[in-house]
Chains A and B, each alone.
Chain A
Amino acid sequence: MAMKFEKTGEGKYMLDVCGYVCPHPQIYCKKSLEKMAEGDVLEMVFDNPSSAETIVQMLDQAGHELKEKKKEGGKIIFVIEKG
């Protein structure tokens, strides 16, 4: 199944895990952030609402900042700055 983790610009990344259910979105989010440098920004797109609650808490505990969250037709988009 297709998922994407791409560099979209200087210090900018995109992770698309639409179609994936727990625990995949949270695991891929964590692993993607581990690969990024402090201050880099990740735009994460997923459509599994149950993962959102866990990801928000995971970011808070790890010191990353959730700069934006929005819903677009069943998809959830998080913009995260690595702390």
Chain B
Amino acid sequence: MEDKKSQIWAFIVTGLMILISLIYYKVNVYYIYVVVYIWFGFAYGMMLQYGRFCFASASRDLFAAGVPRMAVGILLGLIFFSLVAAFLTASNMTTFHAGPIGIHEVIGGLIFGVGMVLSGGCASGSLYKIGEGNGTSILAILGISFGQAIFADVGGIFNKFLPKEWVNNALSQTRIPQEKITSWFDYFLVGDVFRKPKMTLDEAGFMSGFHGITKFLLSDAIINTIIPALALILIIYVFYIRKGFLKKRAKQKGGATGFGDELSGIWGMITASKRTSLMGVLIGLTAGLHIFVLKGMQIKFGIFNFGELLERMGHISDLSTNGTVFDPGYWYITTQEAQFGAWVLEKFGWNMHDNVYFGFSNGLPEPWRNPALWMSIGIIFGAMVMALLNKEFKFKVPKGELIAWGLFGGLFMGLGARIALGCNIGAFFIRVAGGDPGGWLFGIGMVGGAFIGVKFFNWWSERKMAKEMEAF
């Protein structure tokens, strides 16, 4: 009976998403662009939930429990995504653009990494866990949303701590209207980050002798992504699996082990959690397909940004002064949550348009016309459907310490994501697979932050168990 109820709810949620899609299509054919985001979000949500795919878990479970399943899943995802991305770049069917490379990514990644361990899920992981009914993840997403919105807009006393160089750089440029440069974050963006170099590895000098698909496969996929990913898989095997595996193998064989056993050990590690590894591969391929479809939509409508379609439909107030809205063109989390937070704060009278992040770059569309926000909603509902089908949906109200961990973790993730200009998806997964070496800088910071978070939680749980538990 309970099973049947869960299945009926899964059909209701799916039906609701289909209905929403049909309504959008009926209102205006341009909204098919939003519908594409909804359904890719839905697919990501299903895969994330089925594979228990969370970037927080990748480093946290490795450091806290010695379990590499998630780290391996992500690295497999990167490998497959990079191959698709290289073909898309070679055929000029990509929406990917490199980001600024600098120390801000390591710093942002570090803060983000601490936050994701505290809240129990990364940016994408928190969304899929909302779909499982996890109330702590709702708090984490609220922390991400409002934390980013406030951080992007606050100036005042914080501007007194601005490096002089950033202020001078911001004042001397002409691209961005001066009246939009108001917050600490604006000066950081305009005076520092926007001036940093951007590149994908195919643009490097040593690649000038290569052409066509060979160039993109060799540089962006093989050198930037596949070799480092394979090296990391090997490092994880050596440090976390090898000793225990070879000991077991030697006992079974009753003698010495060889190279074949090492290969079996690596393969065993990759296939230890089939659902995570399989979803890693599928998520990588889907992320590539997502880029391909959105590029196709942009070509079909003759646009570079969804803001152009909103303008054609007369929704001018949604747009930034640049005439755009946030439309990443690929899988992305955090900026759309920041827009949601800012949209709510505007309803309470806070002017969120007087800054670079919303006012000049990303706009503040109404949530129902925000394509990337629909992608996040799609992730939640896709995960919900998968959880319902597997009888894993259970609404859990956050209590006690989990309220603090969720909110503070979310705030840390929001702060880190703004400093690094993205989260575990936009600043790491997409950038690395797209051939941008800067993505690894965020990854290094994120893993470092997770290590700090795990050390803290180990201390905390030891203390709590000793204090509260009878048998400890």
Q: Show the binding face of A for B, using Cβ within 8 Å.
A: 1, 3-7, 13, 19-24, 26-28, 30-32, 35, 47-50, 52-55, 57-58, 60-63, 71, 73-74
Closest to B458 in A: A27
Which single member of A6, A13, A20, A47 contacts B394 (CB below 8 Å)? A47
Bound together, the chains give a CA A32 to CA B402 distance in angstroms of 20
Q: A19-B396, A21-B402, A58-B66 are in contact. Are A4 and B457 (CB under 8 A)?
A: no
Q: Which chain A positions have C-beta within 8 A of B65?
A: 26-27, 30, 54-55, 58
Main secondary structure of the interface of B (DSSP, over half): helix
User: B179 an interface residue at 8 Å Cβ cutoff?
Assistant: no
Which single member of A5, A23, A52 contacts B471 (CB below 8 Å)? A5
Closest to B390 in A: A49
Q: Which chain B positions have C-beta within 8 A of A54?
A: 52, 57, 61, 65, 67, 69-70
Structural contact, B399 and A19, CB atoms closer than 8 A: yes
Q: A5-B471, A50-B52, A71-B391 are in contact. Are A60 and B462 (CB under 8 A)?
A: no
13 contacts between A and B (CB under 8 A): A3-B469, A6-B469, A6-B471, A21-B402, A23-B457, A24-B461, A30-B64, A32-B465, A47-B394, A50-B132, A53-B69, A54-B67, A55-B65
User: B438 an interface residue at 8 Å Cβ cutoff?
Assistant: no
User: B104 an interface residue at 8 Å Cβ cutoff?
Assistant: no
**354-395 of chain B: CB within 8 A of chain A:** 387, 390-394
Q: A13-B471, A50-B129, A54-B57 are in contact. Are A23 and B67 (CB under 8 A)?
A: no
Q: Which chain B positions have C-beta within 8 A of A57?
A: 67, 69, 272-273
Q: A50-B54, A57-B67, A58-B65 are in contact. Are A27 and B461 (CB under 8 A)?
A: yes
Structural contact, A4 and B469, CB atoms closer than 8 A: yes
Q: Which chain B positions have C-beta within 8 A of A63?
A: 244
Sample of 16 further A-B pairs with CB below 8 A, known A27-B461, A30-B65, A74-B393: A1-B401, A5-B470, A5-B471, A5-B472, A6-B469, A20-B402, A22-B56, A22-B120, A26-B67, A30-B64, A32-B472, A49-B52, A53-B52, A57-B67, A58-B61, A63-B244
Structural contact, A60 and B56, CB atoms closer than 8 A: no
Closest to B135 in A: A21
Which single member of A21, A23, A32, A49 contacts B61 (CB below 8 Å)? A23
Q: Which chain A positions have C-beta within 8 A of B54?
A: 22, 50
Q: Closest CB of chain B to A26's CB: distance in Å?
A: 5
Bound together, the chains give a CA A26 to CA B67 distance in angstroms of 10
User: B60 an interface residue at 8 Å Cβ cutoff?
Assistant: yes
Interface bits B42-65 vs A (CB < 8 Å: 1, else 0):
000000000010101100110011
Q: Which chain B positions have C-beta within 8 A of A26?
A: 61, 64-65, 67
User: B95 an interface residue at 8 Å Cβ cutoff?
Assistant: no
Q: Which chain B positions have C-beta within 8 A of A30?
A: 64-65
Bound together, the chains give a CA A53 to CA B52 distance in angstroms of 7
Structural contact, A47 and B396, CB atoms closer than 8 A: yes
Interface bits B130-150 vs A (CB < 8 Å: 1, else 0):
001010110000000000000
Bound together, the chains give a CA A30 to CA B461 distance in angstroms of 11
Q: Which chain B positions have C-beta within 8 A of A49?
A: 52, 132, 387, 390, 392
Structural contact, A27 and B64, CB atoms closer than 8 A: yes
Q: Closest CB of chain B to A24's CB: distance in Å?
A: 7
Which single member of A13, A61, A74 contacts B67 (CB below 8 Å)? A61
Q: A1-B400, A27-B65, A48-B134 are in contact. Are A22 and B57 (CB under 8 A)?
A: yes
Q: Closest CB of chain B to A35's CB: distance in Å?
A: 6
Q: Which chain A positions have C-beta within 8 A of B401?
A: 1
Bound together, the chains give a CA A48 to CA B396 distance in angstroms of 9
Structural contact, A53 and B469, CB atoms closer than 8 A: no
Structural contact, A21 and B134, CB atoms closer than 8 A: yes
Structural contact, A28 and B461, CB atoms closer than 8 A: yes
Q: Which chain B positions have C-beta within 8 A of A61?
A: 66-67, 241, 244
Q: Closest CB of chain A to B365's CB: distance in Å?
A: 32
